């Protein structure tokens, strides 16, 4: 069924890079092609794409400072980095994306700063509205410790329930199911219909390459009505783009944001309380009067707190954060793990390889990359579903996350937090939570022998 698409793709490949370069870049141990960090280098916010010149690296310094350094409330002696709040979740991008990587829950699943609660209430006909008082995200910090300033909206609370199950070979496993709640609401009760959706910060590394996958290539993989009858459909999230036209959503667990520029502007506004040209208003609702009356860090007054040219620096810095080489890509047994990945049809959604085209970041163009995602929305079943949807995505739909960097994400077993809300404590649990379109993949995994399961995990943890 995908035959024609593949032919089109191969032609596009040939036109984008010289055959020799492409062959070298297709190497499995260089998931980001020529942008990949050499083996032995740890990815972090000081490690941009390997294919940047020294001059280009030098120009990333202001963007790095905006990503790393804490923002401060206005007015302040610094006018470039003031404007934090009045309502916010953290002081800097790195608070939630440490080193540009993914956030984790605290010990025993306690909520950390990197976990956000999005808020929505079903308003009929599939429409989801923000909470009338708290808006569409719970801001857990406010500049004022007590009224009359803007006080924090509330805190995140969770209780975990344990569920047991068994593999086909009799080995038992336990999963933990979260119940996320808003604690200590400071502005009165939430609307009775409002429901939270918990989101843990994903890694930012490699997102510039994901942005450069041509939209047409993503759309060619859609199978909305499952016409090939394999149980896996996949649907592009359709959202409003930078220019007001409909674009393919790619970023966030629900693929709500079509470009890194808009994703960064949304993070600045919702997570830090910084206004920018695409998001010029604070996340204050009419009920939050102290928030509305708070001083702004805009310079000149009446404008936004970060102007377009500095937003562009932060976006470019984000877009050039590199993914790491896979030192153990060729290790013994890796092939059998990869075969099992394909046999269980994991690759139907975690699509191994793409060719990047021209995007906003020139250094991201023309690479053969191996992110293991299709960036499409999939119905993952009731086990992973929220109570309400967001944007174009239903409550049960999630965007396939990239799997590059997975090995690094599970290196510290005490703090491993996979899936959109960090509920999975290791890769096995993450797979066992798969349902809906991925039910038969999950069942294939549960039927594998212990040796096969560990071969598959070895492969996944080498990514
Ligand atoms: C309070 C924690 C927090 C802060 C601070 C934060 N983020 Fe995020 N970030 C998140 C979460 C949670 C998501 C997923 C959002 C969703 O699914 O809706 C995310 C998603 C992203 C993504 C998309 C990644 C992907 O794979 O889809 C990028 C890029 C990003 N953030 C960049 C930034 C930048 C740049 C900043 C600083 C301006 C920032 N973030 C600040 C928590 C945070
Ligand atoms: C129908 C599409 C689909 C199939 C098939 C599928 N996945 Fe996934 N996978 C997803 C989606 C969507 C998520 C995110 C779900 C969430 O966070 O709620 C995910 C999450 C994951 C994660 C956690 C990633 C992270 O960053 O937290 C791992 C690991 C994973 N999948 C591995 C696998 C493996 C292994 C298989 C095959 C046995 C598989 N998946 C099959 C769509 C799929």
Averaged pLDDT, groups of 10, the chain, 463 residues long? 34 44 66 95 95 96 96 84 93 97 96 98 91 98 88 97 98 98 97 98 98 98 91 95 91 98 98 96 95 87 92 98 93 92 98 96 97 98 97 96 96 93 98 98 98 97 95
pLDDT at 148: 80
Q: Which ligand is nearest to the CA of 461?
A: 2
Q: Which residue is closest in CA terms to ligand 1's atom 37?
A: 93
Q: Is residue 49 within 6 Å of ligand 2 at its C-beta?
A: no
> Does 267 sit in the ligand 1 pocket, CB within 6 Å?
yes
Token duo for residue 440: 């038969």
8 Å CB contact between 266 and 314: no
Mutate which of 349, 377, 445 for ligand 2 pocket (most atoms within 8 A of beta carbon): 349
Q: Which atom of ligand 1 is nearest to the CA of 250?
A: 27
Looking from the CA of residue 384, the nearest atom of ligand 2 is 18
- pLDDT of res. 124: 86
Judge residue 248's burial from the number of C-beta atoms within 10 Å of its C-beta, 0-12 exposed, 13-18 middle, 19 or more buried.
buried
How far apart, in whole angstroms, are the C-alpha atoms of residue 4 and residue 9? 9
Q: How many CB atoms lie within 10 A of CB 277?
A: 13
Nearest Cα residue to atom 29 of ligand 2 = 427
Give the distance (Å) from ligand 2 centre to CA of residue 189.
35
Which residue from 45, 115, 197, 201 has its CB within 8 A of the most atoms of ligand 1, so it is best to mutate?
A: 201
Q: What is the pLDDT of residue 2?
A: 31
- Residue 296 has φ and ψ, to the nearest 5°, of -105, 155
Q: Alpha carbon of 406 to those of 28, 328, 330, 402, 409: distances in Å?
A: 15, 13, 17, 9, 5
Question: Would the CB of 264 count as within 6 Å of ligand 1?
Answer: yes
**Contact assessment for residue 410 and residue 426, using Cβ atoms and an 8 Å cutoff:** yes
| Residue 168 C-alpha from the chain's centroid | 32
Residue nearest to atom 11 of ligand 2 (CA): 400
Cα of 97 from ligand 1 centre, angstroms: 7
Instruction: Report CA(25)–ligand 2 centroid distance (Å).
Output: 25
User: What pLDDT, on a 0 to 100 scale, did the predictor assign at position 77?
Assistant: 81
Hey, which of 178, 345, 426, 430 would you mutate to test ligand 2's pocket, going by the most ligand atoms within 8 Å of its Cβ?
430
Q: Is 263 in the pocket of ligand 1 (CB under 6 A)?
A: yes
Residue written as tokens 């609702």?
285
Token pair belonging to 249:
């959503």
Does 427 sit in the ligand 2 pocket, CB within 6 Å?
yes
Q: Which atom of ligand 2 is nearest to the CA of 380?
A: 12
Give the pLDDT of residue 243. Answer: 85
How far does residue 153's CA lie from ligand 1's centre (Å)? 20
User: Ligand 2 in contact with 375 (CB < 6 A)?
Assistant: no
Ligand positioned closest to the Cα atom of 444: 2
Cβ of 418 less than 6 Å from ligand 2: yes
Q: What is the whole-number distance in angstroms between the Cα of residue 431 and the centre of ligand 2?
A: 6
What is the rounded distance in angstroms from the CA atom of residue 39 to the CA atom of residue 393? 38
What CA–CA distance (Å, rounded) separates 210 from 272? Answer: 24
Q: What's the 166 CA to ligand 1 centre distance in angstroms?
A: 35
Note the pLDDT of residue 335: 92
Per-residue confidence (pLDDT) for residue 302, from 0 to 100: 84
Atom of ligand 2 nearest to the CA of 421: 17
Question: Could you tell me the sign of the dihedral formed by the alpha carbons of 102, 103, 107, 110, in that order?
Answer: negative
pLDDT for 242 = 80
Which atom number of ligand 1 is nearest to the Cα of residue 268? 38
Instruction: Answer positive or negative: Cα dihedral of 204, 206, 208, 210.
Output: negative
Residue whose tokens read 């929505």: 120
Q: Kindly state if the Cβ of 250 falls inside 6 Å of ligand 2.
A: no
Ligand 1 atom 16 nearest Cα: 252
Mutate to test the pocket of ligand 1, among 97, 263, 314, 372 (most ligand atoms within 8 A of CB): 97
100 Cβ closer than 6 Å to some ligand 1 atom = no
Q: Are the C-beta atoms of 254 and 198 separated by less than 8 Å?
A: no
């Amino acid at each position: 069924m995908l035959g024609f698409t593949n032919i089109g793709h191969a032609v596009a490949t040939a036109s984008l890079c010289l055959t020799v370069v492409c062959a070298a870049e297709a190497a499995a141990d260089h998931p980001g092609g020529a942008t990949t960090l050499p083996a032995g280098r740890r990815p972090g916010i000081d490690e941009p794409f390997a294919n940047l010149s020294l001059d280009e690296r030098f120009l990333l310094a202001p963007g790095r400072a905006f990503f790393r350094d804490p923002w401060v409330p206005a007015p302040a002696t610094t006018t470039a980095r003031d404007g934090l709040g009045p309502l916010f979740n953290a002081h800097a991008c790195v608070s939630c994306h440490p080193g540009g990587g993914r956030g984790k829950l605290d010990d025993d699943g306690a909520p950390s700063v990197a976990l956000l609660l999005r808020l929505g209430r079903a308003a009929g006909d599939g429409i989801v509205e923000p909470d009338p008082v708290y808006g569409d995200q719970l801001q857990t910090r406010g500049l004022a410790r007590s009224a009359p300033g803007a006080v924090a909206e509330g805190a995140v609370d969770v209780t975990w329930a344990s569920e047991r199950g068994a593999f086909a070979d009799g080995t038992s496993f336990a999963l933990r199911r979260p119940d996320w709640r808003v604690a200590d609401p400071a502005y009165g009760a939430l609307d009775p219909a409002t429901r939270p959706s918990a989101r843990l910060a994903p890694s930012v590394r490699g997102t510039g390459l994901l942005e450069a996958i041509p939209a047409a290539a993503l759309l060619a993989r859609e199978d909305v009505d499952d016409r090939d009858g394999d149980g896996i459909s996949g649907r592009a999230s359709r959202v409003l783009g930078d220019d007001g036209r409909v674009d393919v959503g790619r970023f966030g667990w629900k693929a709500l944001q079509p470009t890194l520029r808009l994703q960064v502007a949304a993070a600045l506004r919702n997570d830090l309380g910084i206004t920018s040209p695409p998001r010029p208003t604070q996340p204050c609702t009419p009920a939050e009067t102290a928030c509305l009356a708070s001083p702004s860090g805009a310079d000149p007054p009446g404008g936004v707190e970060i102007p377009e040219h500095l937003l562009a620096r932060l976006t470019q810095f984000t877009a050039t954060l590199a993914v790491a080489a896979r030192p153990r890509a060729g290790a013994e047994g890796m092939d059998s793990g990869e075969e099992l990945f394909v046999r269980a049809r994991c690759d139907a959604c975690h699509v191994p390889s793409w060719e990047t085209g021209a995007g906003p970041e020139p250094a991201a163009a023309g690479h053969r990359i191996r992110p293991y995602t299709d960036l499409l929305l999939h119905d993952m079943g009731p086990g992973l579903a929220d109570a309400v949807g967001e944007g174009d995505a239903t409550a049960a739909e999630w965007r396939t996350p990239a799997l590059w960097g997975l090995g690094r994400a599970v290196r510290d077993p005490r703090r491993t937090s996979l899936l959109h809300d960090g509920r999975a404590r290791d890769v096995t649990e993450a797979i066992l939570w798969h349902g809906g379109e991925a039910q038969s993949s999950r069942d294939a995994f549960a039927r594998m022998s212990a040796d096969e399961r560990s071969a598959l995990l070895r492969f996944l943890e080498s990514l």
